[in-house]
Amino acid sequence: MPTQVELTVFSPAKINLYLRIVGRRADGYHDLETVMVPLDFGDEIVCQRRRAGLTLECDDPRLPTDESNLALRAALALKERCEVTSGARIVLRKRTPLAAGLGGGSSNAATVLLTLNRLWKLEAPMAVLDEIAAGLGSDVNFFLRGSACLCRGRGEQTEPIAARLPATVLLANPGFEISTKWAYANWAGAAKLTGEPPPVSVVTCALAGGDLRGLAGGLYNSLEAASVTKFPVLQVMKEMMLAHGAVGALMSGSGATVFGLFADAASAGACEPVLRREFGPSTWTQMARMGAGSQS
Ligand code: C5P
């Protein structure tokens, strides 16, 4: 049998249906309670086995391809941890907007870990991949799971949850970035205005029961109020989605992407051109479905 020397894999984006900041930690991070779901929209990564060396190429010139890129850092960390002598060429076809609250970089890192583990035939257990992932970023562990999760700690403690809700998601990004550091540094003042968050069980129960209206009632993000105060266009985008068929709408993660949840693709498809017309060509929109992407 020929040895497999190349794998092409999907690297999904995510949305946060719920993100509550529980407290500030001594290490500067924040403890969270967050529900994340992978989307069937994301990037594509090709990994080719090489005799030696690790290289990264990307079709988006804005992304660095040196060790400051999380995908290459993941490959280097795995190579070192598992004492791998082979190398790899990694090619990243970027579709997910950068610094957008959709987990693009974290997803690429997790996908590289899973894929090189197969390509290099390491059979490293999930516990080892989890350890490497936690050192790379707070969302990387979630993307190792490949399914909806309730995450705690700074996000790296993952608990897979049942999600039987194939809702259509409409993503809208206003074309500017919000720094994750800024979002976490400024969340508290504005969040006081939004009142008590609903318990996370509203979201987990609705996901398990396939209840879209129930899910809409539980949507929450501690980081949203500060961003909406600074960038009111985010609120206008949400309201426009709700006025055009969305059952619920929220900012994802640290933004600036907002998403609407729709009962079906037809209603999301009717809303998408409205957003493009109202907010102009700098606005990026994308329809997707909640659920695991293919990891083959
Ligand atoms: O872990 P990650 O690199 O994604 O985090 C980026 C920044 O977001 C951190 O440096 C920190 O300022 C903030 N953060 C936080 N609490 C978290 C996750 C991220 O304060 N749970």
Query: Which amino acids bring their CB within 6 angstroms of ligand 1?
Result: 29-30, 32, 137-139, 154-155, 180-181, 184
Instruction: State the catalytic residue, choosing from 43, 79, 130, 139.
Output: 139
Mean of all residue pLDDT scores within the chain: 94
Reported as a single tens digit per residue, the pLDDT across 62-76 is 999 999 999 999 999
Nearest CA, atom 21, ligand 1: 154
pLDDT tens digits, 225-281 = 999 999 999 999 999 999 999 999 999 999 999 999 999 999 999 999 999 999 998
Give dist(CA 113, CA 226) in Å, integer. 34
Cβ of 189: how many Cβ atoms within 10 Å? Answer: 10
| Known catalytic residue at 43 | no
Could you tell me if 279 and 174 are in contact, meaning their C-beta atoms sit under 8 angstroms apart? yes
pLDDT band per the 50, 70, 90 thresholds, residue 195 = confident
Q: Quick check: 219 pLDDT over 90?
A: yes
CB neighbour list of residue 42: distance below 8 Å, 6 or more residues apart? 10, 11, 12, 13, 95, 96, 104, 107, 293
70-81 vs 104-119: helix axis angle to the nearest 10? 30
- Condensed to tens digits (0 to 9), the pLDDT of residues 34-86 reads 999 999 999 999 999 999 999 999 999 999 999 999 999 999 999 999 999 99
Can you tell me the mean pLDDT for 191-218? 91
